[in-house]
Chain A
Amino acid sequence: MAGRTGIEVSLALSEAVKMADADVIAAYPITPQTHIVEHLAELVADGHLDAEFVPVESEHSAMSACVGSSAAGARTFTATSSQGLALMHEILYMAPALRLPIILAVANRALSAPISIWNDHSDIMAERDTGWIQLFAENGQEVFDLTLQAFRIGEDPQVLLPVAVNLDGFTLSHVIEPVVFPEQKVVDQFLPVYRPKVRLDPAKPVSMGVFGIPEIYTETKRATEAALLDSKAVILRVWDEFEALFGRKYRPIETYRAEDADTLLVAMGSVSETAMTAVDEMRAEGKKVGLVRIRLWRPFPDEEFKAAVAKARVLGVVDRSITPGSHAGPVFMEIRSLLYALPERPAVFGFSLGLGGRDVTRENFKYIYDQCQVLEDTGQDRYEMVGVME
């Protein structure tokens, strides 16, 4: 399939898992993740991918089986959405703690109630603190590339952490996009066979998942977090290697027409494509506006983000979820907290929108731009829920 092909993004993701020669896929169906696992089941059934496809009876068991297979030393993949990710919640913490590079695709979807199958980021934001490396894709090519990169990053001996690749449910997972597929031999060069030094091996017994008394629990958590923070250097190195082999450049933070902007929109995921169009239209009206897109959410790229917004006067941060009872959504909170200690910093305002599949439009971004100009004078410190019918 090498070359540029029009393909549904979910299928492109599955093709990346195939090209990565995953050993075990344990998954449970949930909309809008289904096309990913259906295609993987087909690839296994047709003999294109030599993997064990474990059709588990729940997402809790999906992540549990992934922990088992990754601990056994197998390259392991799963995918889910929304309630499924929430059901995995308990086990998500085990993967980083046991240093298991499980790769998880999340076709982001709202959480019940009311039940909604449509896109927002409330599923993954509820898993923010589980210790996973978390990446957000903008388009189909990026979904394919990030999935390949996720295996390489997670399995790096310096990292050994699980990686979640986030793609917006339906608005990205179910659209057909042009994707450039590499030659298998280039993928093999980029991603060697996974051979962990420590695994469940009767020739070299180890105990995993042991009981941590108060004297060691803090240090264990510290060590795992250090690994997550240190992973950024490896992520940057892997992205350099990827660029050399595949010709596409990846950085933790992307900017669009940001160089001379006084107002910057900040977004994650596929809405940034809409935001770029809005930026172009506002630029045509003479507004000095640009876009900052966060690709690497965990570990958060503090320095890269600070550098990207250093010259801006005001930031309008988009959240695709809310933090009920708080003044700020998770992305807004992250950014304002990060910038607070700087002597010179932009004003930061937060906007939650696009919840449960509500369309995110160019007009939304223009509204956010306008609000940013007004709010500077009012000192507004709470986030605003955009587009609510009162």
Chain B
Amino acid sequence: MTADALKDFQKLTAKTLPAEDMFAPGHRACQGCGEVLALRLLMKAVGPEAIAVSATGCMEVVSSTFPQTSWRVPWIHVAFENAAAAASGVEAGFKVMRRKGRIPDKKTAILAIAGDGGTADIGLQALSGALERGHDFVYICLDNEAYMNTGIQRSSSTPYGAMTTTSPPGKHSPLGQVTWKKNMPAIAAAHNIPYVATASPAYHLDMMNKVRKAVAIPGPAYVHIFSPCPTGWRMRPELSIESARLVVQTRAFPLYEVINGRYILNRKVSKPKPLKEYFQQQGRFRHLDDKAIAEIEARLHAEYDKIARLAAEGGPVKEEKEE
């Protein structure tokens, strides 16, 4: 089914980008927000035949203050931890109403959209349930690596060594966050779903095409999108895209897909840039010394190597050039 769905897959290029935006301008996100940029682009990629289910969080708050809405597709927000469960219900409803002839017999993309807290922490159970049950939907995690909406508290997706308001570096505990980032794409892939991908808005066509693939493939799909947060990362807003690129170039966030269990490394990073280049733009890593950075870098390289090995097992590494 996956192969059939991808056989006729039309890639978006710079020339074929849809003009229409499904996420309207005029929202209330912070200056330089990488998350809302990713959201706008992915909604553009998905198009109008879609239902979006948002978890509570920045994107819900900035887009839906009554009486205004940024959503040009039908949109529903229920609570923080249940985007995947609510999306399961939407999907089941559409499926049965299509079968009973009450709505047109065509594919409607069902998207569940949540932040890293709503995915890796409070929403993990609902997500696991929805992936296991096999609903035809796409779960999108917009990962800005902390609870930004409530004021930059740590999540299980906050990287090792990052300062947040609940992982502050101090005299007793100088590192800030002392746990390693939860590997959500691996957890999603462990459900043996047909499609898992990571993406970064700095590689926007790659990201948009991954979301379109996720929609095209029947069954559950998980797309984990790196989402720079200048406010929470203590970073200049104009560096948002650059940080989203550096995170890939330093091997801190590998871009890959898992299609029916087969890993594909989308960007091979043969000559990684020093992690310090990525860290030094962000106040949240300012307290780290060179030794700590070197330790983190070694671990991130090892994780990258693991993905590269998995990809090599599935065949030659496929590198894609950005348009």
Contact = CB atoms under 8 A, between A and B. Distances in A.
Interface of A: 23-24, 26, 50-52, 54-58, 60-62, 64-74, 76, 90-91, 94, 98, 193, 195, 200-202, 204-213, 216
Given A55-B133, A69-B89, 9 more contacts: A24-B96, A26-B88, A54-B92, A56-B129, A60-B82, A61-B85, A205-B73, A207-B64, A209-B77
B204 interface: no
27 contacts: A23-B93, A23-B96, A24-B96, A26-B92, A54-B133, A57-B126, A61-B82, A61-B129, A68-B53, A68-B86, A71-B90, A73-B93, A73-B103, A74-B92, A74-B93, A90-B79, A94-B79, A201-B74, A202-B50, A202-B74, A205-B74, A205-B75, A208-B75, A208-B76, A210-B65, A211-B60, A211-B61
A195 to B, nearest CB: 8
A73 B102 contact: yes
A75 to B, nearest CB: 9
B108 interface: yes
A200 B51 contact: yes
A136 B74 CA distance: 36
Contacts of B79: 64, 90-91, 94
B245 interface: no
Nearest to A68: B89
A68 B85 contact: yes
Nearest to B129: A57
A64 B102 contact: no
Nearest to A23: B96
Which of the listed residues A26, A68, A74, A195 has the most CB atoms from chain B within 10 Å of its own CB?
A: A68
A195 B84 CA distance: 25
Nearest to B69: A207
Contact of A65 (B49, B72, B74, B88): B88
B71 interface: yes
A72 B52 CA distance: 11
Nearest to B126: A61
User: Top 6 closest A-B pairs, CB basis?
Assistant: A68-B89, A72-B93, A57-B129, A65-B89, A61-B85, A74-B93
Nearest to A65: B89
B89 A26 contact: yes
A94 B80 CA distance: 12
Contacts of A58: 125-126, 129
B292 interface: no
A83 B69 CA distance: 36
A205 B77 contact: no
Contact of A211 (B53, B65, B72, B74): B65
B120 to A, nearest CB: 17
B82 A64 contact: yes
Contact of A210 (B77, B81, B90, B129): B77
Given A64-B82, A211-B61, A70 B100 contact: no
A51 B97 CA distance: 9
Nearest to B99: A50
Nearest to A202: B49
A73 B76 CA distance: 13
B298 interface: no
Contacts of A26: 88-89, 92
Nearest to B93: A72
B92 A52 contact: yes
Given A26-B89, A51-B96, A207 B51 contact: no
Which of the listed residues A26, A52, A94 has the most CB atoms from chain B within 10 Å of its own CB?
A: A52
A26 B88 CA distance: 9
Which of the listed residues A26, A56, A200 has the most CB atoms from chain B within 10 Å of its own CB?
A: A200
Interface residues of B, number: 49
B285 interface: no
A65 B92 contact: yes
A68 B99 contact: no
Contacts of A50: 96, 99-100
Contacts of A65: 85-86, 88-89, 92
A67 B84 CA distance: 12
A60 B81 contact: yes
A203 to B, nearest CB: 8
Contacts of B132: 57
A74 B53 CA distance: 16
Contacts of B93: 23-24, 52, 68-74, 76
Contacts of A206: 74-75
B73 A72 contact: no
B96 A74 contact: yes
Contacts of B86: 64-65, 67-68
Contacts of A210: 64-66, 69, 77
Interface in B77-135: 77-79, 81-82, 84-97, 99-100, 102-103, 108, 125-126, 128-130, 132-133
A209 B65 CA distance: 10
A23 B100 contact: yes
A165 B200 CA distance: 48
B66 A216 contact: yes
Contacts of B130: 61
Given A52-B92, A52-B95, A202-B73, A72 B129 contact: no
B48 interface: yes
Interface in B153-200: none
Contacts of B92: 24, 26, 52, 54, 65, 68-69, 74
Contacts of A72: 51, 89-90, 93-94, 97
B88 A54 contact: yes
Nearest to A193: B102
Contacts of B82: 60-61, 64, 91
Contacts of B133: 54-56
Contacts of B75: 205-208
A46 B120 CA distance: 38
Given A23-B96, A60-B126, A202-B50, A68 B90 contact: yes
A370 B320 CA distance: 86
A204 B86 CA distance: 20
Contacts of A24: 89, 92-93, 96
A213 B97 contact: no
A62 B129 CA distance: 11
A54 B65 contact: no
Given A72-B94, A72-B97, A205-B75, A211 B64 contact: yes
B285 to A, nearest CB: 32
Which of the listed residues B73, B88, B126, B133 has the most CB atoms from chain A within 10 Å of its own CB?
A: B88
